[in-house]
Structure 1
């Protein structure tokens, strides 16, 4: 069996993930932008990372702000903060991303980060030409219900690449679950921030580095 495509999560796989403090500050900025000057620390944390639609609606009800307008503001401030940090040297690309040049399979990205952030990362790190498709989230509440471990964006990437068999590389349990639900293989990459993580699900492969892709059955290497 050979894969029709190889897909990648972005943060923690291709580039270093943003520090939680950066996302928390961006969330506080989002509250300020809609006129909420003194949100509770718990509510700032709730919309910083791992946001659920129900929790978002609860927070918006507490401060009497419109859900979709607030979420668009939050996603914009989170994206702007990450892009500004990247331009100062944050979100560096992992060295082993260089191995993607040696892969012959069509490549794609499926990320829970904002589409605007993914587009900026690809441009900043000169990765555009490597990937035939790249899916982040649009700034909608509906996107929260579709993010991994739901396979929605993986399915869209597979359709873009006309791929039936594929490998998805991620750094979280939700990545492995999303791949399983999409009916494709998964590889869990043990970056430093997840080196000791014990998963409750079993990926198809466990990788130390993207260089390990060279050794996987089904991955096609470009001819020299």
Structure 2
């Protein structure tokens, strides 16, 4: 297969852990309330810790008399600082097979596209010295949170930045596959357990390790 660009999801694909630990967001939300002078008492509201929608965030901020956009941006940046420090401390590591990036980078443009926060995606790529040409995570805005994968916005932005058309996106969720399809590119679904995640979106390739990619792409 002749792809000029290969894009990777980060959490669960290159970096151990399915997502940012909820405790990180709980700590970030608590810091947000404290710095905005809100004496909430007890745990932060769930919809400031792990909201499902922008509407959830707005409703919670309205209830607390918080300015929504600034509070959300603060919470996102606080979470980035907390998680980056935890990665330096060794709480999350790169998967051993992420070293395949070195081989793939000899012939392809490499990028990382993640629903995680952009500051952490950029930090992780630099920390583990991955040979990537560009990274894209979500920026600390409500607009970005509303357009996470499976919406194709993040992928399309990365493809445009790299000037890429013939690309493959490697992810570990069906939403990654859907995002790739909506962006007009192929997908490889990584299932390290060997059991594909449920869902209707079918990838071009099924793999159980990133180490399979060089041989697969040479076929």
Normalising by structure 1, report the TM-score: 0.87
Q: Structure 1's 70 and 3: CA in aligned 2 closer, same or farther, altered over 3 A?
A: same
Offset of 1:124 from its aligned partner? 1.4
Aligned residues of 1:23 and 1:48 also touching (Cα < 8 A)? yes
After TM superposition, list the pairs within 5 Å mapping 1:23-38 onto structure 2. Answer: 23-38=25-40
1:56 aligns with 2:60: no
Aligned residues of 2:61 and 2:67 also touching (Cα < 8 A)? yes
RMSD, matched Cα = 2.2
Q: Structure 1's 207 and 33: CA in aligned 2 closer, same or farther, altered over 3 A?
A: farther
> Within 1, Cα distance between the matches of 2:140 and 2:81?
13
Q: Structure 1 runs of 4+ off > 6 angstroms?
A: none
> Within 1, Cα distance between the matches of 2:195 and 2:29?
28
Structure 1, residues 42-83: CA drift from partner, whole Å, max 9, x if none? x63323335421111111111110011101111011101101
Where 1:146 maps in the other structure, the secondary structure is coil
For 1:125, the equivalent position in structure 2 comes to: 128
Aligned residues of 1:31 and 1:39 also touching (Cα < 8 A)? no
Structure 2: give runs of 5+ residues left out of the alignment.
Answer: none
> Within 2, Cα distance between the matches of 1:185 and 1:120?
27
Structure 1: give runs of 5+ residues left out of the alignment.
Answer: none
Number of equivalenced pairs: 215
Aligned residues of 1:27 and 1:74 also touching (Cα < 8 A)? yes
Aligned residues of 1:8 and 1:108 also touching (Cα < 8 A)? yes
For 1:153, the equivalent position in structure 2 comes to: 154
> Within 2, Cα distance between the matches of 1:39 and 1:101?
49
Structure 1, residues 75-105: CA drift from partner, whole Å, max 9, x if none? 0111011011111102200000111111121
For 1:71, the equivalent position in structure 2 comes to: 72
